[in-house]
Amino acid sequence: MNLDMRNVTVINLSDEQVQYLNSLDNGQKFPSNIKIPTLNIKVKYIQRQETNGRCLSANELIRKGEIICYGNGSKINRPIMYSYQIDENIHLVGPGGLDHNCFNPTCGIEKETNNFIALRDIKQGEFLTFNYFCTEYDINSPFYCQCNELKCFKQIKGFKYLTKDEKKYIYENFGLSKYLIKKYIES
């Protein structure tokens, strides 16, 4: 565990609580002790037909480097659908609605702040995405990506399972959380 993580308050969730939080389709419905992060006012949720899910999209042009979402959600000890990993057993509650994207994600994580930032200019109406390998070491509900991109990662299981070259590719193109930088250096 990183030194600076030692004193943070981490909410311990039971199996039932994880199940309950994952059953909610909207972070606004979370109990008041589970804080969802602050979003840039230029983003909004819309229903995405292809996935039948609630996705974040740009409501107006967002410039490269702008903060999309602050890293100020609650810290929890286990992953939920809306969380992303920031340390061994610490997950940060995210906004939800950020789908995985293999090779052209719009957002990345800022390692010192855990803010999500725009990796490039994002056009109005574009869905906000994120490469899950930037934060997730070992995903407990892996899935198969069907983006059909030439360089699709197919199995989205976690950073741990990538080859050295794939890890390097993610690090250099999309950035990694502070925790995964440590794991990358160790590997």
What is the phi/psi pair of residue 62, to 5°? Answer: -115, 130
Q: What's the token pair of residue 31?
A: 């109990």
Sketch the per residue contact string, 38 through 77, with Zn ion: x for CB under 5 A, - otherwise.
----------------------------------------
Q: Which is nearer to Zn ion, 48 or 111 (CB)?
A: 48
Q: Which is nearer to Zn ion, 42 or 48 (CB)?
A: 48
Q: Does 156 interact with Zn ion (rule: CB under 5 A)?
A: no
Name the nearest CA neighbour of 137 among 82, 185, 86: 86
> Could you tell me the smallest distance in angstroms from the CB atom of residue 81 to Zn ion?
19
Question: Torsion over CA of 138, 131, 4 and 28, rounded to 10 degrees?
Answer: -100
Site for Zn ion in 133-152 (CB under 5 A): 145, 147, 152
Whether 117 contacts 110, CB under 8 Å:
yes
Q: Which is nearer to Zn ion, 5 or 145 (CB)?
A: 145
Q: Which is nearer to Zn ion, 67 or 145 (CB)?
A: 145
Q: Which is nearer to Zn ion, 36 or 102 (CB)?
A: 102
How many chain residues bind Zn ion (CB under 5 A)?
4
Do β-strands 107-109 and 116-118 pair in parallel, antiparallel, or remain unpaired?
antiparallel
Which residue has 């030194």 as its token pair?
3
> Could you tell me the smallest distance in angstroms from the CB atom of residue 187 to Zn ion?
22
Site for Zn ion in 92-121 (CB under 5 A): 102
Distance CA 100, CA 34 (A): 23
> Could you tell me the smallest distance in angstroms from the CB atom of residue 127 to Zn ion?
14
Whether 88 contacts 103, CB under 8 Å:
no
Name the nearest CA neighbour of 34 among 45, 18, 47, 46: 18
Which residues contact Zn ion by CB under 5 A?
A: 102, 145, 147, 152
